[in-house]
Amino acid sequence: MKDEIARLHAWIKEVPSKLQAFEEPELALRPQPGKWSKKEILGHLCDSALTNLQRFVRAQHEPLPYKVLTYNQDQWVERMNYRNLPSGHILNLWVVLNKQVAEVIANIPDERLLHSCRIADGSWVTLDWLVTDYVDHMEHHLNQIFRPFE
């Protein structure tokens, strides 16, 4: 988990300065109908952090196997109104949530990382896998924001 925590901390440090390179209208612009704006992608990552904080705590303490919570991502982005919020508001939320995610991950005992979890498609994974998948997912979306043409 040290690698995942280091990756989280690196992004927490890097994202604020990188986001400042964009003007607010550019952050709110949807590249095409049905696609999220950069602000909405960052907001989606806030929703992901909120959801995964619960997963990471529940998977340690609820009866096993833990059934992973799911959510409708598009509805959350819409209901949270990220497109119309100031980017600084969304950024602050993202930073605070991911600092907490890193804290929770850092305190998961090794034996609990092996706890069984059942994901939406019916597959079995471990809590360790969920943590790695969270960071990979976050990096995928941050790359959509900051390196959209690579």
pTM: 0.94
Query: Are 11 and 142 a contacting pair, CB within 8 Å?
Result: yes
Per-domain residue ranges for the chain? 2-146
| Position 86 pLDDT exceeds 60 | yes
Report the distance separating Cα 31 and Cα 25, nearest Å: 12
Residue 150's pLDDT is 45
User: Percent of the chain beyond pLDDT 90?
Assistant: 95
CATH architecture assignment, domain 2-146: Up-down Bundle (1.20)
The per-residue pLDDT for range 87-117, each reduced to its tens digit, is: 999 999 999 999 999 999 999 999 999 999 9
pLDDT mean over 22-47: 96
